[in-house]
Chain A
């Protein structure tokens, strides 16, 4: 099949999409390069993090990044919107973290029993959020989940490479 090419804007790194790219690399041919604008060239092109993530999850269905059934897909959609609308530079972070903490109180992963786009996009939004480190202590479930993911590849590599660049 055709090789995919993801270009990322390094001054505004789409961490979630980059994580999705790292996860599907073993399943599809994909190259990542740095450029002026973030875009994934397919027949059309996608230039927002959620569309890129959705597409990558769909070309590697065996990884289950979009959930195992229709209800899990809907939860993934919910968290994709949550991370883009509630966690990315929006006011009201404390309230959003409260909701997230409640959702994670009985769960290891946000949706189902395995890693999905929900974990990738929410983790990425927090990782890139200036206020997260100071707020982390107040939300024990989010903190546990965040550390658990942070200790794994490719979260470590993507996190180290691009968040240091951002500051």
Chain B
């Protein structure tokens, strides 16, 4: 029996070939998954990874804290097969505390492949900066098992920058803009325009007046924080938001923790009770 009739491929053969391709694809996926599993069992880091991931999931920052569900395909467009990698260049002289908090939250929501590198432009990066994203995964870890890559590069940059989807997006400079981007991967901004803008306004205040301002400016912001926190449990109302993350980290960075007024003290504790602020706090010690 001939497989070819008048130079055409028999449809039955075509179907068989398609099935075989599909089986091969599934086998390939299985093989990759098994290799990944084997790594977690056989490498010395595996126990460490397990300990950390279980300690993260046991933290009290529940999904109810951030309202609304987010889906990476909806937010960022369809996955083209390559790992979506967020690359951040940061200066070790100004560790981006908010990004560490957001990284911790992202790791709880998504399977994040986190890596820290040191660029040749800097030397003597302290060990706590090298381990600030948690223990390092083995290099051969299959990238396709992750939803998001988070690559932090300590580099002598004047201003923090993020590169993501470089064909479509310009490099994003400044911790505030990067923090807004990362937070939107976790929870949508409030749908009310005034509340959403209030969040952004606190983020600007945190980075430009608390973190970089004079002692007088800082004191003014602390008073404004105190008065806002007298009306609401969180800075932008009843919901925890990026405003809280940015202001917490900038109060911490500016060394105003102990001198903060009453409502601010209470709110600082509430933030800490959520977990996720630990890595930022450790880094400044």
Contact = CB atoms under 8 A, between A and B. Distances in A.
Interface of A: 42-44, 46, 48, 50-51, 54-55, 58-59, 69-71, 73-75, 77-78, 81-82, 85, 103
A58 B193 contact: yes
9 contacts: A51-B201, A55-B197, A71-B169, A74-B169, A74-B172, A74-B177, A77-B172, A78-B174, A81-B174
Contacts of B165: 71
A43 B231 CA distance: 14
A51 B198 CA distance: 8
B184 interface: yes
A51 B197 CA distance: 6
B76 A70 contact: yes
Most chain A CB within a 10 A radius of its CB, from B75, B76, B164, B169:
B169
A75 B173 CA distance: 9
Contacts of B200: 50-51, 54
Interface of B: 75-77, 164-165, 168-170, 172-174, 176-177, 180-181, 184, 193-194, 196-198, 200-201, 204, 208
Is the contact region of chain B dominated by helix, strand, or loop, or is it mixed? helix
B201 A46 contact: yes
Nearest to A107: B170
Most chain A CB within a 10 A radius of its CB, from B76, B168, B172, B197:
B197
B173 A44 contact: no
A143 B170 CA distance: 19
A81 B176 contact: yes
Contacts of B196: 54, 58
A77 B194 CA distance: 17
Contacts of A55: 193-194, 197
Contacts of A44: 194, 198
Contacts of B180: 73-74, 77
Contacts of B169: 71, 74-75
A78 B184 contact: no
Given A51-B201, A71-B168, A75-B169, A42 B176 contact: no
Given A54-B196, A78-B170, A78-B173, 9 more contacts: A46-B201, A54-B200, A55-B197, A58-B193, A70-B75, A71-B165, A77-B176, A78-B174, A78-B177
Contacts of B174: 78, 81, 85
A70 B208 CA distance: 23
A69 B169 CA distance: 12
A54 B200 CA distance: 8
A73 B185 CA distance: 13
A69 B77 contact: yes
B111 to A, nearest CB: 20
Nearest to B199: A54
A103 B201 CA distance: 26
A44 to B, nearest CB: 6
